[in-house]
Amino acid sequence: MSSSHRSHLTCRPTTGTTTSARRSGSALAQQLIGEPLPIIKCDHCWRLVVRHVSSMPKHPEWVFFKCEKDGDGCKFWYWEEEYIDLLIARNLLDVGALVARDEAREDAMFKFEEEEKKKVCKLEKPVGKRNNVVNKEMEKALIGLTGAVKEVVFLLKCVIFLVVFFVLVLLAKNWWSM
């Protein structure tokens, strides 16, 4: 790739860009922390970059990626979130597949929770007229609660979709403005 076509993220000074209270990187990048990531080559010397974990008190256990020659002429150095954004900008991460995988996990978890609720919430056969009325009221309350939970899960999925959509729009806007 020629230097004129490189992303604006390739060589950015990192001194003072992050603090221990707030990490840099997009919301999508922060969701992908800890996921296996591809290792790319340094933009300057073409050596593979290296993954490290910070032992500094200001950034304990934070993951960063740098060139082997960092400090010796190469300036390739990114916190994990910034590195993820760089991979996304270079189309080296399939964001759609990651989102689909997360949605599948959520769906599986929701189904599991629903099955567990069914097991736990099965009402015993009522004994007498009064217990029958109480059980019917409890059943109505549980049905209403189940509907409310489904609505909340749907709204959360909508919010996640909108966040991912806006991140992609911002990335596309930044990509085309270069």
pLDDT tens-digit readout, 95-129: 777 777 778 888 888 888 888 777 766 655 545 55
Examine the fold and report which residue of 63, 89, 115 is the final residue of a domain before the chain moves on.
89
Same domain, 54 and 75: yes
Question: Using 50, 70 and 90 to split pLDDT, how confident is the model at 14?
Answer: very low
Cβ atoms of residues 51 and 84 within 8 Å: no
* Residue 7, SS3 per DSSP: coil
Query: Higher pLDDT residue, 171 or 135?
Result: 171
Percentage of the residues of the chain whose pLDDT score is greater than 90: 1
Same domain, 99 and 75: no
DSSP state of 13: -
Same domain, 122 and 84: no
Task: Dump the DSSP string for 81-110.
Answer: HHHHHHHHHTT-S-HHHHHHHHHHHHHHHH
Residues 166, 163: Cα–Cα separation, whole Å: 5
User: What is the pLDDT of the chain when averaged over all its residues?
Assistant: 73
The model's pTM? 0.43
* Residue 65, SS3 per DSSP: strand
Same domain, 37 and 77: yes
Examine the fold and report which residue of 62, 89, 116 is the final residue of a domain before the chain moves on.
89
Question: Using 50, 70 and 90 to split pLDDT, how confident is the model at 55?
Answer: confident
Average pLDDT over residues 22-43: 66
Range of the domain at 20: 3-89
